[in-house]
């Protein structure tokens, strides 16, 4: 009888190990619950929504994680890191000045820089230009940095080599996209590739420590898209969001081609999570697309995956 009980005990023990292993392979209950909730939100949207979440515990949740989302100004995060690397390789600082004429700039594109600097001849540091592209998505500042500091091709190559991230592509500048909106398809990414990049900005050594800290702090002061990921978090004590947004063109039929936000949320208990929300082919207004992002952000923040133990 004792031998039979021992055999039964061993069988139960093995079964429990196998069962736990299956749960681990399929993801925890909290992760699966979050995935179901996000899928339900996405299924109700008049457009394609891609979501990637990297939880405080390191689990990954993705919905519609294809690589065909136009990045729009999200690519300026890639650009900023490539610019920092180019300066590192030349042994120069972010205080390095770039001189340029107002006549070189495009007066018909989004450019808070030109609104704030009315002089004909401008002298701005690389650091100032990076603040403009990361905090306010300035298109002229982006074009200038591509013209003077790092090429589009070198930017794409550097991010791949420095991070190992592959599911993205950068082929054109804001100037080129402004002239031909169809070229925006050339700057594309999966949500997870964007999420992994901003995660690495805070966890890996991509550029020199001083310049990487500059990028981190600048992202924390991003002033665009505050009705997106940030909307449900703004009144939560102890929350900090470092993020980069991107907003797209409309087709002749009025379809919104891109509406993006990629961010890292720091929690009061010291943990953090990363999320990327990318919307394409959206039949609605920008504010409606932002409301979808806010709803997704709220679901992620309220999930058991991110709640404090």
- For the chain, the structural domain boundaries read 29-302
The fold for domain 29-302 equals Beta-lactamase (3.40.710)
Reported as type and span, the H/E element at residue 280 is strand 272-280
Of 39-43, 77-81, 303-307, minimum mean pLDDT range:
303-307
Which pLDDT band, with edges at 50, 70 and 90, does 307 fall under?
confident
C-alpha radius of gyration, the chain, whole number: 22
Cβ contacts of 167 within 8 Å, gap of 6 or more: 67, 189, 190, 192, 193
Q: Is residue 287 scored above 50 in pLDDT?
A: yes
Which pLDDT band, with edges at 50, 70 and 90, does 27 fall under?
low
The three-class DSSP label of residue 281 is: coil
The three-class DSSP label of residue 110 is: coil
Interatomic CA distance for residues 50 and 33, integer angstroms? 17
Q: Dump pLDDT digits (tens) for 114-125.
A: 999 999 999 999
Tokens matching residue 260: 């993006």
pLDDT of residue 3: 47
C-alpha count within 13 angstroms, C-beta hemisphere, residue 257: 19
Catalytic residues: 73
Question: Are the CB atoms for 72 and 248 separated by under 8 Å?
Answer: yes
Q: Is residue 19 scored above 70 in pLDDT?
A: no
Q: Is residue 18 scored above 70 in pLDDT?
A: no
**Residue 267 gets which letter from DSSP?**
P
| Stronger pLDDT, 239 or 308, i.e. the higher one | 239
Mean pLDDT of 245-251: 97
Mean pLDDT of 227-253: 97
Q: Is residue 13 scored above 60 in pLDDT?
A: no
Q: Is residue 112 scored above 60 in pLDDT?
A: yes
Q: Dump pLDDT digits (tens) for 46-93.
A: 999 999 999 999 999 999 999 999 999 999 999 999 999 999 999 999
Backbone angles phi, psi at 116, to 5 degrees: -90, -20
The stretches of the chain forming alpha helices (DSSP H) are 2-26, 29-43, 75-90, 112-116, 126-135, 139-148, 152-163, 174-179, 191-203, 209-220, 286-302
Kindly compute the dihedral angle of the four CA atoms of residues 178, 181, 185, 188, in this order, to the nearest 10 degrees. 30
Tokens matching residue 37: 């909730």
User: How many of the other CB atoms lie within 10 Å of CB of 217?
Assistant: 12
pLDDT of residue 28: 84
Which pLDDT band, with edges at 50, 70 and 90, does 201 fall under?
very high
Question: Are the CB atoms for 156 and 24 separated by under 8 Å?
Answer: no
To the nearest whole number, what is the mean pLDDT of the chain? 92
Buried b (16+ CB within 10 A) or exposed e, 8-23: eeeeeeeeeeeeeeee
Sign of CA dihedral 98, 100, 106, 110: positive
Which residues, listed in sequence order, are joined to residue 277 by a DSSP beta bridge? 51, 261
Q: Is residue 6 scored above 80 in pLDDT?
A: no
Cβ contacts of 10 within 8 Å, gap of 6 or more: none
């Amino acid at each position: 009888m004792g031998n039979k009980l021992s055999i039964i005990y061993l069988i139960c023990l093995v079964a429990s190990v196998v069962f736990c292993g299956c749960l681990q392979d399929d993801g925890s209950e909290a992760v699966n619950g979050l995935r179901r909730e996000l899928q339900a939100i996405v299924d109700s949207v008049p457009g394609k929504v891609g979501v990637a979440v990297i939880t405080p515990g390191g689990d990954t949740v993705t919905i519609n994680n294809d690589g065909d989302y136009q990045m729009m100004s999200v690519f300026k995060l890639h650009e900023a890191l490539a610019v920092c690397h180019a300066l590192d390789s030349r042994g120069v600082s972010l205080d390095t000045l770039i001189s340029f004429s107002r006549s070189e700039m495009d007066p018909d594109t989004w450019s808070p820089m030109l609104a704030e600097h009315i002089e004909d001849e401008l002298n701005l540091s690389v650091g100032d230009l990076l603040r403009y592209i990361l905090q306010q998505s300035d298109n002229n500042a982006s074009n200038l940095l591509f013209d003077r500091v790092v090429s589009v091709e070198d930017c794409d190559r550097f991010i791949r080599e420095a991070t190992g991230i592959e599911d993205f592509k950068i082929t054109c500048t804001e100037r080129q996209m402004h002239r031909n909106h169809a070229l925006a398809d050339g700057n594309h990414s999966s949500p997870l590739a964007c999420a992994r990049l901003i995660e690495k900005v805070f966890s890996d050594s991509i550029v020199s420590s001083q310049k990487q800290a500059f990028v981190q702090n600048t992202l924390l002061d991003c002033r665009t898209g505050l009705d997106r990921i940030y909307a449900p978090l703004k009144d939560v004590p102890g929350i900090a969001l470092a993020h980069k947004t991107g907003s797209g063109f409309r087709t002749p039929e009025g379809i919104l081609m891109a509406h993006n936000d990629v961010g890292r949320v720091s929690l009061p208990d010291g943990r953090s999570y990363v999320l990327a929300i990318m919307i394409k082919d959206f039949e609605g207004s920008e504010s409606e697309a932002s409301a979808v992002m806010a709803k997704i952000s709220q679901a992620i923040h309220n999930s058991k995956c991110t709640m404090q133990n």
